[in-house]
Structure formats: structure tokens, C-alpha cells
Amino acid sequence: MSWLEIKDVIFTILHIGVTLFNLFGWLWYRLRRLHLVSVVLTLASWLILGIFYGLGYCFLTDWHWEVKRKLGETDLPASFVKYYLDILFQADIPANVVDAITVTGLVIAVVMTVVRNRDLFRRNSGH
């Protein structure tokens, strides 16, 4: 296995891990602060870096796709989620459908991480 293929596997595992953690990391009380950080970083990439690179920009996908292009892959979608859902379901799922699912998942994750971390968002009541 070449170094590029190893990097592709590492990026795949990392990307799936971050995606699943963003969706479900709020479930574990001990991970709630880390989940908040992860969701905030994801939102920052999508929205702040998105100003410069396009809304929904993910630096991890950008780095991963650079490796895939060097491995000879072409016609990569803008979305990591679309790429792997297409593989999983052996279909060309419309990008707008995948984007809607992805945004919905992140919105739910944001709501849940705010709920789980509500003590950070309350004013100090003096107790």
C-alpha cells in the first residue's frame, strides 16, 4: 500500500469519525465539551471559511480530496457525505438532498450540544 493510499484511509477514518462524533457525541456527558468544540469548528469551517471558499466548505474534505485526486480519482463531489452515501447506497443521490440531510443533522447536533452544555450559556447566578 502506498503512502497516498494510507493517507486516504486515514482521512476516511478521521472524516467518518468526526462526522459521527458531530452527530452523536452529545449523547455522552463526559464528551459534551469536546463535542461543543467539534461542532463549533465544523460551523466555523462551513460558515467562516465558507465566505472565502463557498458555503459549507470543509477543510478536511479539501485535504482528503487532494489525496484522492493524486490517486487518480476525478469528478469528486463537493461533499464527503455525498461521496460515501453514493458508495453505501450504490446510487447518485442528488447533492441538494444530501446537503439538506447534512445540514439537518448538524442543526440537531448544535441544538443538542447547547442543551448538554447549557451550564456554559447561563449567567453565573452566584452559586
Q: Residue 124: is its pLDDT beyond 80? A: no
Global pTM reads: 0.90
d(CA 63, CA 65): 6
Q: What is the DSSP letter of 123?
A: P
Asked if residues 25 and 42 have their Cβ atoms less than 8 Å apart, the reply is no
HEC secondary structure over 32-94: HHHHHHHHHHHHHHHHHHHHHHCCCCCHHHHHHHHHHHHCCCCCCCCCHHHHHHHHHHCCCCC
Asked if residues 23 and 38 have their Cβ atoms less than 8 Å apart, the reply is no
pLDDT, one tens digit per residue, over 1-38 is: 999 999 999 999 999 999 999 999 999 999 999 999 99
pLDDT, one tens digit per residue, over 87-104 is: 999 999 999 999 999 999
